């Protein structure tokens, strides 16, 4: 079945799902988005994703023409219309079409777009054997320039870091903040394990607070694994016993080498495997 895309209350075939070239989402990256997963026909943590979408929109003074409840219902209806049991959702709200200028007052009719499609994950062997990453020279946006907690349509900051990772032969790249501290990867949050303690950068390190990140922290606490959110440096990464990434598409994936340095034994370790299995059970029970 051809994918059906929701745009402002109507469903369109993939080839017919279009918006204006004058939309400020295209012209200036002016808008917000969320990526969600469908497991067994159900949307994973829909409420949390919708809440974060509206937080991002409020932060950039974008008025979404639906209530959060209506948005959640639209997402579920679009998943049902696509008869998708396992898949990915891209939820987008643009500023709307306007004139060729920055002023958002010159725009009208924000576009609410819900795309439901198949999920593309990392290759299976990387989940089994672990993945290598490098540190990008491109840092996270300074919070006084554009707060990294806003999930906006302007992702060039992350894309340039991703380009660095790809050119180094890696699927991901680690990004530091303006203080040189570890923040996150281009599309995933990072976790370390040291002496049995799970550590991940705090929100004020310039990270996007991932929904999967929060779920993994809850799973760790439920399993009796201590969880901390301290400021971290690359030294902490290099000397960690374990390292893994979390994300909507990535789920939980082990990292076994960073900047050419093996992490721990250079193989996926017990706590990473335990949390990956716990997340698998949470989403697929």
Distance of CA 47 to the CA centre of its chain: 15
Q: Would you state the structure tokens that stand for residue 249, as one six-digit string?
A: 């598409």
Query: By the 8 A CB rule, do 144 and 30 touch?
Result: no
Alpha-carbon distance of 155 to 149, in angstroms, equals 12
Catalytic residues: 151
């Amino acid at each position: 079945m051809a994918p059906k895309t929701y745009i402002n209350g109507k469903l369109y075939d993939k080839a017919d799902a279009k918006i204006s070239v004058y939309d400020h989402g295209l012209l200036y990256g002016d808008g917000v988005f969320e990526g969600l997963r469908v497991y067994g026909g159900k949307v994973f943590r829909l409420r949390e994703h919708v809440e974060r979408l509206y937080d991002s929109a409020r932060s950039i003074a974008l008025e979404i023409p639906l209530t959060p409840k209506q948005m959640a219902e639209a997402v579920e209806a679009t998943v049902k219309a696509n008869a998708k049991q396992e898949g990915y959702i891209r939820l987008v709200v643009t500023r709307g079409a306007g004139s060729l200028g920055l002023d958002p007052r010159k725009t009208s009719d924000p576009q609410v777009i819900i795309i439901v499609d198949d999920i593309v994950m990392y290759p299976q062997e990387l989940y089994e054997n672990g993945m290598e990453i490098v540190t990008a020279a491109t840092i996270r946006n300074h919070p006084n320039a554009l707060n990294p907690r806003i999930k906006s349509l302007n992702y060039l900051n992350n894309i340039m870091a991703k380009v660095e990772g790809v050119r180094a032969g890696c699927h991901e790249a680690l990004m530091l903040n303006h203080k040189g501290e570890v923040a996150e990867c281009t599309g995933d949050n990072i976790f370390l394990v040291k002496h049995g303690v799970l550590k991940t950068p705090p929100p004020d390190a310039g990270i996007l607070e991932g929904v999967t990140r929060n779920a993994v922290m809850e799973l760790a606490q439920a399993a009796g694994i201590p969880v901390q959110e301290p400021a971290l440096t690359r030294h902490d990464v290099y000397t960690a016993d374990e390292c893994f990434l979390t994300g909507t598409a990535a789920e939980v994936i082990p990292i076994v080498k960073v900047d050419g340095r093996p992490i721990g034994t250079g193989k996926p370790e017990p706590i990473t495997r335990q949390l990956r299995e716990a997340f698998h059970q949470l989403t697929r029970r």
